[in-house]
Structure 1
Amino acid sequence: MTTQLPWLSGDSAFPAPETALDYPDGLLAAGGDTSPARLQAAYRAGIFPWSSAGEPLLWWSPDPRCVISPAAFVPSRSLQKVRRQHAWHVTCNAAFDEVIAACAAPRAYADETWITAEIRAGYCQLHALGWAQSIEVWYDNTLIGGLYGVTVGQMFCGESMFSVRRDASKLAFWALMSLMRAWHVQWVDCQLENDHLISLGATIMSRRDYLAYLATQPHAPALPWSEAAAIWQADGFNGAAPA
């Protein structure tokens, strides 16, 4: 039996996440756009866009969901060694456009990217409005790694990361965990499970539990991103000794 996928147009609302398909896991709807209002509504409902060039815009809400607890994150010994031995510097929201462009670049293991021009434009608008953030890793004045995502209240929804130097994206992830732990954030959304995320300490959560937690977030105080540099200084980043 063929299932008719809901098509979004204009200001039409998203279907309930619970109506997403079992296969492909979490496919919920198609169409719509990446306007700030549409993207914000999606993240508040536990939905995110993910499609390839040439496809219509697709919206997903998988079950289960991949998440990570900042309190449980422990950097590996090898990553701690990288931080000690390399003169790398981390920043926050200093080069969002460059980070998402680097995340959209072709990878060695894939011929295409899901971060289309439409996706990039939408998230850059979100960043300009203060709803999307990036973490950058620099060597001298060269961007060598980073990640970006969207915040809903006090929940960070990770989107993508990149690295042009080995372990640079892992250092960006550690820097993110440092901030989230300092701000007592309970969960970071990683969306889809993969071996790399599991190696960093991610786990899975049912969609029902994820949506229940997410429902507590829209009215939570905004995360104080301007405090990032001071937190990293105290946590031993950027050449500082841990407090």
Structure 2
Amino acid sequence: MSRRSVEVTADLVLRAYRHGLFPMAEGRAGDKLFWLDPVKRGVLPLDRFHLSRRLLRTVLSGDYQVTVDRNFAGTIAGCATPLPDRTDTWINPQIERLFTELFRMGFAHSVETWRDGILVGGLYGVALGGVFFGESMFSFARDASKTALVHLVARLRLGGFRLLDTQFVTAHLAQFGAEEIPRDIYRSQLAAAVDEPAVWLVDPGQAALAAEFRSLAAGVATR
């Protein structure tokens, strides 16, 4: 007897997130999605984010212009672009379609980093209650994705978010304080945060952002 496959829709993805699951494809050319529920989950504690003085200067310098939700399609395409150290990607066309639909529904968001009008870095993910589920980031210029991440964390803190899920911990994320926690602890944190009210802030204002950047660099916990 054959097993009927379940259509993966944007609504199904949202329900999966609530239970600690997230979708990936085997590769850019893969035509199937699978669900992951890691034994160890990557999270980035919002009250212990590590922002170096050097990166703070870059973020405050104005070398990059940062926007939010302005070019989601370009951001997810950038994340799917092969790079010398990443020749393949788990973002296939179906993933792009699903998350673009989530963006239209108001759940998926992007943070974009620009230089001279050109998109050179960014990240995207899903906001659900007080949780932001980070999906992927890309960088075509030094510190471009790092700048986007700092802007993301500042907005999450200002908006009252409680949990930043990174799925896995990479060396790139570890420098900011990302850590692995057991699945049961993650699910407990998820359950406590996913229905909490939070506000996704597209433009909290430059003064509020600059103050939050400095708080991050000083190691000030989330208020």
Report the TM-score when normalising by structure 2.
0.86
* CA distance in structure 2 between the partners assigned to 1:54 and 1:161 by the alignment: 20
Q: Which residue of 2 aligns with 1:45?
A: 19
* CA distance in structure 2 between the partners assigned to 1:77 and 1:236 by the alignment: 13
* CA distance in structure 2 between the partners assigned to 1:8 and 1:192 by the alignment: 30
Contact 1:105/1:113, CA 8 A, preserved across alignment: yes
The number of residues matched between the two structures is: 210
* CA distance in structure 1 between the partners assigned to 2:61 and 2:196 by the alignment: 38
* C-alpha deviation, 1:236, in angstroms: 2.1
Counting only pairs closer than 5 Å after superposition, residues 89-238 of structure 1 correspond to structure 2 as: 89-221=65-197, 223-225=198-200, 227-236=201-210
Which of 53, 56, 70 matches 1:80? 56
Unaligned runs of 5+ in 2: 216-223
Contact 2:154/2:209, CA 8 A, preserved across alignment: yes
* C-alpha deviation, 1:185, in angstroms: 2.4
Compare CA radii of gyration and give the structure with the larger one.
1
* CA distance in structure 2 between the partners assigned to 1:128 and 1:211 by the alignment: 27
* CA distance in structure 1 between the partners assigned to 2:106 and 2:160 by the alignment: 20
The percent identity for this pair of structures is 35
Which of 9, 18, 21 matches 2:5? 9
Contact 1:179/1:231, CA 8 A, preserved across alignment: no
Runs of 4+ displaced beyond 3 Å? none
* CA distance in structure 2 between the partners assigned to 1:147 and 1:159 by the alignment: 8
Structure ranking higher on relative contact order (CA contacts 8 Å, 6+ apart): 2
Report the TM-score when normalising by structure 1.
0.79
* CA distance in structure 2 between the partners assigned to 1:185 and 1:37 by the alignment: 22
Unaligned runs of 5+ in 1: 1-6, 11-31
Per-residue displacement from partner, 1:133-157 (whole Å, max 9, x unpaired)? 1111112321111100011211000
